[in-house]
Amino acid sequence: MKLVLTEEEQFLKDTAKNFAEERCPISHFRSLRDNNDPKLWDKDIWKEMTALGWPGILIPEEYGGSNFGITGISVILEECAKTLTPSPLFATGVLGAFSITNFGNDDQKQDYLPKITGGDLTTALAIDESSHHNPADTEMVAKKDGKKFVLNGKKTFVIDGASADLLIVLARTSGNKGESSGLTLFLIDSNDTGIERIKLDMADSRNYANINFNNVEVSAKNILGDEETGGETVENILDIGRIAIASEMLGNAEAAFETTLDYLKQRKQFGVLIGSFQALQHRAAEMFCEIELTKSSVIAAMKAADEGSNELQRLSSLSKTMAGETLHLVSNEAVQMHGGIGVTDEYDIGFFLKRARVAEQIFGSSKFHTERYANISGF
Amino acid sequence: MTNLEKFREETKNWLDKNCPPSMRNGADPDIPVDEVWGGRNAEYKNPESKIWLDRMGAKGWTMPTVPKEYGGGGLTKEEVKVLNEELFHIGAKQPLLSFGIWMLAPVLLEYGSEEQKKEHLPKILKGEIRWCQGYSEPGSGSDLASLSTKAEDIGDKFLVNGQKVWTSYADKADWIFALVRTGAKEPKHDGISFLLIDMETKGVSTKPITLISGKSPFCETFFDNVEVPKKNLIGELNAGWTIAKKLLQHERAFISNFGLAGAVAGAGSGRDVVSIAKKHLGEENGKIKNSFYRTEIASHKIKEHAFGLTLKRAGDEGGKASATASMFKLYGTEHNKKRHELMVGASGVDGVAWDGDEFDENDKNLTRAWLRTKGNSIEGGTSEVQLNVISKRVLNLPSQ
């Protein structure tokens, strides 16, 4: 496993970098937030991303995709994260596309994948039910009734949940809270009767929802993968999601660090540039090193995903932990080193801090993944 | 068969015939193991150590990328990879540990004259001459460029006077590569030259320094009117600082690898933080019983894993010794210190055992090893100096 990008992957990354800088500078995100845009992402930008083929990166060519792999989509997310570009790319292009491509049956693939590649269908993965990520804690009941299931319960913190067309929902078909067996994944139209979506207002101004399910009827045909094995399936989907979000967080950290370095080279106090102070230099040097370690962890995890390595789970937890710890450090230091303007809304650096803390919680915090890493490693 | 496949076949056959049984997997554990550093006065507990060194040295495979005319193997990068794979495959012992190979040879190749390369490289690669490093002085530690050991021009020779400190194994070395002042004190970087000195020359003497670990891997080295031929000057007169910095990058890369190699080797020797913690703190369902230690150890393991991947990535990117060598030195040594602190802490009072029959050999060795790691982040440039280098060379932050 070589820890370098292929030419194609580098090309995707460069394209994404140009796109993010030209089409979605941070001012784009700011205006969506200030205008109280209900989706918090822009339809035209999503169209342009679709034209570039991004929603179909994980989708096979027979369904209109390009099958460029986890590394391909992750480096795009990294670049888009540098300008805090909001879009359905993570929830749809990674979570939805990966789930249906890898676990969908032929009908499901035929129904959904061409629509995803065409930018006509967005998805959301509904897992958590409390303030902390833990799929085994799923309580939502899916009760079998002939050829259909009836779902009751509540999902929280669903990424893109406020606008997605298709929901991928983890529910309990047997067993008890705390058990990873007895779980099943369902594909559910978000407009189905009994679904109530409550848009969340989170610190990072992204699209999230809590979703109530009141006697929602779902046909057995809409099971994703196999009944009762959703616990394993969802872990696989989540590992891919963790790697992709870690890549995004790496992009956040790189951009916040870059902005801070620029500031250290411009801002003068006591008649000198503040970047000449050793008290700041050493902290900047440590951030540089942490970012380098995170880059290596993320690329190793992306490559492991693409090569089907049996180290995938461990590397996924490694990358999410490293990205979480590094972004935590960098976002705090970035605000501190900017001094007074760092805590103003007018200045962009605060966006990175807010985004950091929300992203840290997505699919398990660093604490969650440190524990998981230890369990997998036999500590 | 491609050339590379042919090379692999030949290498396999050669190793099969030439790597002695005690130098590879399946060696008789009762045969004593040598740490082979070579040199004029080398002693071997196991004669096969010497045979293995001589055979590998004759092939030039102690430093296989060096051209054949200088005693190297003249191998391509791809061939070296094959060679390493085949050596790994039979679990071959490293034939030679050498500051000459790790530090001096790369700068000799870059800055030495044809004559100097021909004279010194073959002896380094064959392990005939053991080298030590004369950099630090009592008054010049982190501020290395302020060094004052003087080399005075007396016609056809230099007359060297002064003192070096922290010279590793100077009492066992045959030659020293030293930084000496040949020009003015100011500007301090411009009056330094890089000089090779035979330790047998009249006026050279050494005295071991006992460390907090109780061991003495370092010496003080004194120069009292030592006459050195002018042909031993590497590069231009007063241009030694550039060479010195280059050599430091090789040294830093080496020390950081050493830390990581220690972590890997430690896992096999029982000196692994997880097994130590399980042994002393107990185990429950395969987990370290004490959750506070478990968390701290897991966090450390994650950092070490990420660091290992970073070294691998640097290799995959075709990494040359560069400013990032400072990052590797910094993290390699800091992680090594942290790992030892965790092992000592998890061992409880056994982790601070010093001597006597009441304590296990492993525990006593761990105490010494832990104390030795404290020097890792000082030698070869302190951690603080590495942070300065990263700030200035990598991040281009302004100087005050």
pLDDT digits (tens, 9 = 90+) for A199-242: 999 999 999 999 999 999 999 999 999 999 999 999 999 999 99
Interchain pair B331, A289: CB under 8 A: yes
Rounded to the nearest angstrom, the minimum Cα separation between B282 and chain A is 11
Q: What is the pLDDT of residue A1?
A: 86
Residue to mutate among B377, B382, B386, B397, with most A CBs inside 10 A, is B397
Of the candidates A3, A288, A293, the beta carbon closest to that of B316 is on A3
In which region does residue B155 sit, left (phi positive, over 0), alpha (psi from -120 to 50) or beta (all else)?
Answer: left
Instruction: Give φ, ψ of A363 to 5 degrees.
Output: 55, 35
Q: What is the pLDDT of residue B30?
A: 85
Rounded to the nearest angstrom, the minimum Cα separation between A13 and chain B is 17
pLDDT digits (tens, 9 = 90+) for A160-189: 999 999 999 999 999 999 999 999 999 999
Strand partners, A196: A212
Of the candidates B310, B317, B387, the beta carbon closest to that of A4 is on B317
Whether A188 and A164 have beta carbons less than 8 Å apart is answered as: no
Interchain pair A295, B294: CB under 8 A: no
Describe the crossing of helices B324-347 and B291-316 by its angle, rounded to 10 degrees. Answer: 160
Interchain pair B313, A379: CB under 8 A: no
Place of tokens 């210190």: B337
Interchain pair A370, B295: CB under 8 A: yes
- Look at residues A107, A86, A321 and name the one whose alpha carbon lies nearest to residue B304: A321
Asked if A52 is an interface residue toward chain B (Cβ–Cβ < 8 A), one would say no
- Look at residues A240, A149, A215 and name the one whose alpha carbon lies nearest to residue A187: A149
pLDDT score of B398 more than 60: yes
Rounded to the nearest angstrom, the minimum Cα separation between B120 and chain A is 36
Residue to mutate among A264, A265, A283, A289, with most B CBs inside 10 A, is A289
Cβ contacts of A281 on chain B, cutoff 8 Å:
387-388, 391-392, 395, 397
Q: What is the pLDDT of residue A140?
A: 97
**Distance (Å, rounded) from C-alpha B252 to C-alpha B247?**
9
Element (H, E) at B281: helix B273-281
Interchain pair B327, A289: CB under 8 A: yes
Cβ contacts of B395 on chain A, cutoff 8 Å:
261, 281, 284-285, 288
Q: What is the pTM of this model?
A: 0.88
Enumerate the H helices of A61-218 as residue ranges. Answer: 69-82, 97-103, 106-117
- Look at residues A205, A122, A135 and name the one whose alpha carbon lies nearest to residue A169: A135
Q: What is the pLDDT of residue B340?
A: 95
Interchain pair A293, B307: CB under 8 A: yes
User: B400 pLDDT band (50/70/90 cuts)?
Assistant: confident
ipTM of the assembly? 0.95
User: B186 pLDDT band (50/70/90 cuts)?
Assistant: confident
User: B325 pLDDT band (50/70/90 cuts)?
Assistant: confident
Whether B165 and B102 have beta carbons less than 8 Å apart is answered as: no
Of the candidates A265, A321, A374, the beta carbon closest to that of B397 is on A265
Element (H, E) at B36: none
Asked if A273 is an interface residue toward chain B (Cβ–Cβ < 8 A), one would say yes
Give the number of other Cβ atoms within 10 Å of residue B363's Cβ: 21
Residue B390: closest CA among chain A residues belongs to which residue?
A285
What count of CB pairs under 8 Å joins A to B? 117
With a CB cutoff of 8 Å and minimum separation 6, the contacts of A65 are: A53, A56, A57, A58, A59, A97, A101, A113, A117
Interchain pair A379, B398: CB under 8 A: no
Cβ contacts of B288 on chain A, cutoff 8 Å:
379
According to DSSP, the β-strands at A223-224 and A208-219 are unpaired
**Distance (Å, rounded) from C-alpha A287 to C-alpha A267?**
19
Stretch B388-398: mean pLDDT, rounded?
94
Q: Which domains does chain A have, with CATH numbers?
A: 7-121 (1.10.540.10), 125-228 (2.40.110.10), 231-377 (1.20.140.10)
**Distance (Å, rounded) from C-alpha B147 to C-alpha A320?**
47
pLDDT score of B254 more than 90: no
- Look at residues B228, B250, B200, B231 and name the one whose alpha carbon lies nearest to residue B112: B231
Asked if A215 is an interface residue toward chain B (Cβ–Cβ < 8 A), one would say no
Q: For the ranges A195-199, A317-321, A324-328, B376-380, which has the lowest average pLDDT?
A: B376-380
pLDDT score of B262 more than 70: no
Of the candidates B294, B390, B397, the beta carbon closest to that of A264 is on B397
Rounded to the nearest angstrom, the minimum Cα separation between A266 and chain B is 10
Chain mean pLDDT for chain B: 91
Q: Name the percent of chain A lying above pLDDT 70.
A: 100
**Omega prior to A25 cis, within 30 of 0:** no
Taking the CA of residue A327 as centre, how many other CA atoms within 13 Å lie in the half-sphere pointing to its CB?
35
The distance from CA B51 to its chain's CA centroid, rounded to whole angstroms, is: 23
Q: CA angle B256-B259-B261, nearest 5°? A: 110
Cβ contacts of B331 on chain A, cutoff 8 Å:
289, 293
Interchain pair A374, B394: CB under 8 A: no
Q: Name the percent of chain B lying above pLDDT 90.
A: 75
pLDDT score of B5 more than 50: yes
Stretch B35-40: mean pLDDT, rounded?
93
Q: Could you please report the per-residue DSSP string of B296-311?
A: HHHHHHHHHHHHHHHH
Q: Which residues of A92-131 are buried (b: 16+ CB within 10 A; e: fewer)?
A: bbbbbbbbbbebbeeebbeebbbbbbebebbbbbbbbbee
What is the DSSP secondary structure assignment for residue A345, as one 8-state letter? S
Residue B287: closest CA among chain A residues belongs to which residue?
A379
Whether B56 and B62 have beta carbons less than 8 Å apart is answered as: yes
pLDDT digits (tens, 9 = 90+) for B81-138: 899 889 988 989 889 999 999 999 999 999 999 999 999 999 999 999 999 999 999 9
- Look at residues B363, B341, B338 and name the one whose alpha carbon lies nearest to residue B352: B363
Asked if A281 is an interface residue toward chain B (Cβ–Cβ < 8 A), one would say yes
According to DSSP, the β-strands at A195-200 and A183-189 are unpaired
Q: What is the pLDDT of residue B367?
A: 95
Rounded to the nearest angstrom, the minimum Cα separation between B342 and chain A is 14
Residue B384: closest CA among chain A residues belongs to which residue?
A282
For chain B, which residues make up each domain, given as ranges?
3-103, 131-238, 243-394
Cβ contacts of A250 on chain B, cutoff 8 Å:
none
Asked if A278 is an interface residue toward chain B (Cβ–Cβ < 8 A), one would say yes
Q: What is the pLDDT of residue B268?
A: 45
- Look at residues A74, A98, A86, A72 and name the one whose alpha carbon lies nearest to residue A295: A74
The distance from CA B253 to its chain's CA centroid, rounded to whole angstroms, is: 9
Interchain pair B391, A371: CB under 8 A: no
Rounded to the nearest angstrom, the minimum Cα separation between A207 and chain B is 32
**Distance (Å, rounded) from C-alpha A98 to C-alpha A77?**
15
Stretch A192-197: mean pLDDT, rounded?
98
Q: CA angle A269-A275-A278, nearest 5°? A: 105
Asked if A343 is an interface residue toward chain B (Cβ–Cβ < 8 A), one would say no
Interchain pair B391, A2: CB under 8 A: no
Cβ contacts of A375 on chain B, cutoff 8 Å:
287
Residue A263: closest CA among chain B residues belongs to which residue?
B397
Q: For the ranges A9-23, B26-40, B114-128, B384-398, which has the lowest average pLDDT?
A: B26-40
- The structural architecture, per CATH, of the domain B243-394 is Up-down Bundle (1.20)
Interchain pair A322, B306: CB under 8 A: yes
pLDDT digits (tens, 9 = 90+) for A15-67: 999 999 999 999 999 999 999 888 999 999 999 999 999 999 999 999 999 99
Residue A293: closest CA among chain B residues belongs to which residue?
B306
Fold of B131-238: Butyryl-CoA Dehydrogenase, subunit A; domain 2 (2.40.110)
Domain B3-103 has CATH 1.10.10: no
Q: Which residues of B touch A (CB under 8 A)?
A: 274, 286-288, 294-295, 297-299, 301-303, 305-307, 309-310, 312-313, 316-317, 324, 327, 330-331, 384, 386-388, 390-392, 394-400
Asked if A261 is an interface residue toward chain B (Cβ–Cβ < 8 A), one would say yes
Residue type, A318: L
Interchain pair A275, B397: CB under 8 A: yes
Higher pLDDT, B271 or A353: A353
Q: Which two tokens stand for residue A215?
A: 């006697």
pLDDT digits (tens, 9 = 90+) for A108-164: 999 999 999 999 999 999 999 999 999 999 999 999 999 999 999 999 999 999 999
Interchain pair B316, A286: CB under 8 A: no
